[in-house]
Amino acid sequence: MVNYEVTVYTTNCTFAATFNNVNIKLVGTEGKSNRSWLFSIIGSLALFKGDVAHFTVSCPKSLGTLFLIELDKQDFLLFQDSWYPSKVEVRSPEGDTYCFPVHRWITDREVHRFREGKAVKAFEETNTLATYAREQELIGRKKDYCWDESKKGLPHCIKGEIPLSLPPEVTFSYTKHTEFFWTAAIGQAEQHLKGLEKRNESWTDIDALDRVFTYRTTDMSEYVQELWQEDEFFAYQYLNGVNPIMIRCCKVLPKNFPVTNDMVFLHGHGSLTKEIERGNIFLCDYKRLDGVTPNTINGKKQYLMAPLVLFHKRQGKLMPIAIQLKQTPADDNPIFLPTDSAYDWMMAKIFVRSADFQEHQLNVHLLRTHLLAEVFAVSLLRNVPMVHPLYKLLVPHTRYTLQINIMARLALISEKGVFTEFAASGGEAMITIMERSLSSMTYKSLCIPDDVDERGVRDIPNYYYKDDGLKLWDIIFKFVEGVLSYYYKTDDVVVKDSELQDWIQDIFEHGFLSQEQTGIPQKLSTVDELIKFVTMVIFTCSCQHSAVNSGQYDYGAWMPNTPISLQRPPPTTKGPKENIMMQTLPDISTTVKGMSTMWLLSKESSDFVPLGQYPEQYFTEGFPRKQIKRFQRKLHQLSVDIKIRNEPLNLPYTYLDPASFENSVAI
Ligand code: FE2
């Protein structure tokens, strides 16, 4: 007889323990053990949450190299519970240690197979049982994770009406769940107590806005309240605010934006034409919002513009120099200038900020991070088994994404969702804007080095999103390159990896609706292509989401800076007129609904996992684990550098400090 020492790790989270009877079978190249009951002298308490339990499995002879275990859990006195093991380690009589990552809830009485931690691609399998286990795993996953079409023209999503329709390993932890709903409830209760949530009238006093969320200011939201009318701050938000990907170098003035040399005063920097030639003029064009039908809120028709905004870069700063609120030039669509009356110029900027809220939430935040991250996740879960290196690399970057998106579909963009009811672009407009956004979601625009070049913004100073984002891209790229070059030594390996090809094909089909003009690859032919694509996936799920998500409350807490809707039409002439700013801004209930939602969506949970931390240890081999350590060191150094850079700044840019954001789209 020979003995195998089996160590079972139960995850340290609420309800992870089991009091049921657990059985194990060890499978090696030379044979299998009997199905053995993991019996301990302390009985079922051996598999308590966070505990490590030791057992012995005896076999008549050595099983050779172990590559798989089978686990099953049977009722104890007719009582069945759920168990969440993290891993199983087995020490063989030859003295080798094998590690089997699990990280799955076992809720039934079925046999579940888990592979040894060494990453294996499908064509490298040499054992029929291993191949069988691999196929069965994907058959099961394709049943658990089905594609669905929530709205025609949008990326496909996970089939599931409520979070409970998801397998338990991809849902919120108990901690995350409790904190999320507690934050939501507190926000609502506060508004309810103040009696604000049902008041449909306009604000009469701008100072009253200060008292909406008395205790919920952030340093940044206080700055915003102070600076929101400043031109320099208005421009700053296009670099380091929540929508830092809209601004681009203006090489030719759009025909529908007839700004002339005489109109703009460039403070002694020459003519507009010359400054365009020198690359100092920048443009934001909200054409995707043109012609959509704005929402009706609390029975009142709302207004949504599709502005064009021109900026001038001078003395290391970006300044707005012209705004046209509608796309078609006309007498009732004047080009507003900083030299106009303070009221006209301020109202023009308010309409731009409101348009930016719609563009940011629907395109930049929802589509380009949340929905895309969901596509990456569903495709991975359906096509790639746990033993595959890509699964090990990417699964931590899918944490909580499916649940947060189901919740967004339920609470934000459903028929009665907050966005549908209270945003200018809620309802019918939303789908049109998102469909238009999808066709602009090119592969280049998702890869920050290409995007920065394509937008011609590499030389803008104090553009911290760009500076930190490029450094993060580089760090992630080197990490991905380090790991994947180990598993893909030649391009041929990439080509013949059928699971990898299925993964990318599904992303093209379900995420980009097979639109070839997006430039998203339909197949991967080289190691370089693979590394770049996987870098983009990790960057999008972690860095890009943080850049467009974390500042929502900072920039939105002072409502006039980010009006989620506007109740009156924009000015159609310049010159003296009645001041209707307060009647134009959102009414009281719309304001507080928007603010409490932004508060909720900017709040981190205490079980947050920062970029580059992999507590679940899917990789067990030395080489990738070394790459992870290197990755973590580089991220730590960047975090230190960003903190030093931020110290003297009045407006520190923290959204891309890797210590402060998650691996995945989780909020
Ligand atoms: Fe988000």
pLDDT by residue (tens digit) across 312-368? 999 889 999 999 999 999 999 999 999 999 999 999 999 999 999 999 999 999 999
| pLDDT at site 177 | 77
Is 138 among the domain residues?
no
| Residue 450 sits in the same domain as residue 531 | yes
In degrees, rounded to 5, the angle at the alpha carbon of residue 522 between the alpha carbons of residues 140 and 664 is 60
- Per the CB < 8 A criterion, the answer to whether 133 and 120 are in contact is no
Same structural domain, 164 and 44:
no
* CA 530 to centroid of ligand 1, rounded, Å: 26
We report the CATH number of the domain holding residue 629 as 1.20.245.10
Cα-to-centroid distance, 604 and ligand 1 (Å):
11
pLDDT of residue 594: 86
Does residue 254 form part of some domain? no
Cα(219) to ligand 1 centroid in Å equals: 21
Q: What gap in Å lies between CA 376 and CA 390, rounded to an integer? A: 12
Q: How confident is the model at residue 468 (pLDDT cuts 50, 70, 90)?
A: very high
Residues 375 and 450 placed together within one structural domain of the fold: yes
577 pLDDT higher than 60: yes
Note the Cα 640 to chain centre separation in Å. 23
Centre of ligand 1 to C-alpha 560, Å, is: 22
Q: Is the pLDDT of residue 139 over 80?
A: yes
Closest CA to 170 of 417, 380, 410: 380
Supply the pLDDT for residue 268. 74
Q: Is residue 520 part of a domain?
A: yes
pLDDT at 392 over 70: yes
Domain membership of residue 108 (yes or no) is yes
Q: How far is the CA of 109 from the centre of ligand 1 (A)?
A: 37
Residues 6+ apart with CB under 8 A from 70: 24, 25, 27, 35, 111, 112, 113, 114
Distance (Å) from CA 153 to ligand 1 centroid: 21
Distance 396 CA to ligand 1 centre (A): 17
- Residue 470, both tokens: 């490029």
> Ligand 1 mean position to 630 CA, how many Å?
28
Q: Which residues surround ligand 1, an ion (CB under 5 A)?
A: 549
Quote the number of domains for the chain: 2
List 148's β-bridge partners, or say none. 157
Cα(64) to centroid of ligand 1, in Å? 48
Task: Give domain status of residue 266, yes or no.
Answer: no
Both 43 and 162 in one domain: the answer is no
13 and 162 share one domain? no
CB 549 within 8 Å of CB 401: no
Report the separation in Å between the CA atom of 242 and the middle of ligand 1, taken as the mean of its atom positions. Answer: 11
By the 8 A CB rule, do 290 and 320 touch?
Answer: no
- Compute how many other C-beta atoms are within 10 angstroms of the C-beta atom of residue 527: 19
Task: Using the mean position of ligand 1's atoms as its centre, give its distance from the Cα of residue 365 in Å.
Answer: 6
Helical axes 231-240 vs 342-359, angle rounded to 10°: 10
Which of 116, 133, 149 corresponds to the end of one domain? Answer: 116
Q: Global pTM?
A: 0.96
Q: What is the pLDDT of residue 79?
A: 80
Query: Tens digit of pLDDT for each residue in 475-523?
Result: 999 999 999 999 999 999 999 999 999 999 999 999 999 999 999 999 9
Q: DSSP for 100-134, please give it.
A: EE----B-SSS-EEEE-SS---GGG---HHHHHHH
Distance 370 CA to ligand 1 centre (A): 6
Q: Are the C-beta atoms of 302 and 325 separated by less than 8 Å?
A: no
Distance 197 CA to ligand 1 centre (A): 24
Q: Are residues 422 and 485 in the same domain?
A: yes
DSSP 145-196: S-EE-SSTTS--EES-SSGGGS-GGGSPPHHHHHHHHHHHHHHHHHHHHTT-
Distance from the CA of 549 to the center of ligand 1, in angstroms? 5
On whether the CB atoms of residues 488 and 527 are closer than 8 A, the answer is yes
Strand intervals (E) in 422-487: none
Contacts of 480-485 spanning 24+ positions with Cβ under 8 A: 480/393, 480/531, 480/534, 480/535, 480/538, 481/531, 482/624, 482/627, 482/630, 482/631, 483/389, 483/393, 483/619, 483/624, 483/627, 484/389, 484/393, 484/527, 484/530, 484/531, 484/534, 485/527, 485/531
Give per-residue burial for 553-575: e unless 16+ CB within 10 Å, then b. Answer: bbbbbbbbbbbbbbbbebbeebe
- Give the per-residue pLDDT at 70: 97
Distance (angstroms) between ligand 1 centre and the Cα of 371 equals 10
Q: How far is the CA of 522 from the centre of ligand 1 (A)?
A: 27
Residue 411 CA to ligand 1 centre (angstroms): 13
Does residue 518 lie in a domain region? yes
- 372, 504: one domain: yes
For 100, the domain range is 2-116
CATH of the domain at 22: 2.60.60.20
Note whether 553 and 637 are same-domain residues: yes
pLDDT, residue 80, reads 80
Q: What is the pLDDT of residue 18?
A: 86
Is 258 inside a domain boundary?
no
Is 492 found in the same domain as 598?
A: yes
- Distance from residue 469's CA to the centre of ligand 1 (Å): 17
Measure 667 CA to ligand 1 centroid, in angstroms: 5
Cβ pair 641, 207 in contact under 8 A: no
539 and 639: one domain?
Answer: yes
229: left (phi over 0), alpha (psi -120 to 50) or beta: alpha
User: Do residues 426 and 484 share a domain?
Assistant: yes
Residue 400: predicted pLDDT? 95
Please indicate whether residue 601 or residue 325 has the higher confidence score (pLDDT): 325
Among the listed residues 230, 282, 223, 638, the one whose alpha carbon sits nearest the alpha carbon of residue 464? 638
Q: From ligand 1's centre to the CA of 244, what distance in Å?
A: 15
How distant, in Å, are the alpha carbons of 154, 401, 558 from that of 344? 37, 43, 20
- Asked if residue 61 belongs to a domain, the reply is yes
Residue 544 Cα, ligand 1 centroid: separation in angstroms? 10
164 and 108 share one domain: no
Instruction: Give me ligand 1 centre to Cα 88, in Å.
Output: 34
**Rounded distance from Cα 211 to ligand 1 centre (Å):** 26
Q: Are 314 and 328 in contact (CB under 8 A)?
A: no
CB 294 within 8 A of CB 301: yes
Ligand 1 centroid from CA 416, angstroms: 19
Centre of ligand 1 to C-alpha 599, Å, is: 12
Q: How far is the CA of 361 from the centre of ligand 1 (A)?
A: 9
The set of residues, in sequence order, having a beta carbon less than 8 Å from that of 200 and lying 6+ positions away, is 298, 299, 587, 588, 589
Residue 172 has pLDDT above 60, yes or no: yes
pLDDT at 109 over 70: yes
Which is more confidently placed, 16 or 347? 347
pLDDT tier at 529, thresholds 50, 70, 90: very high
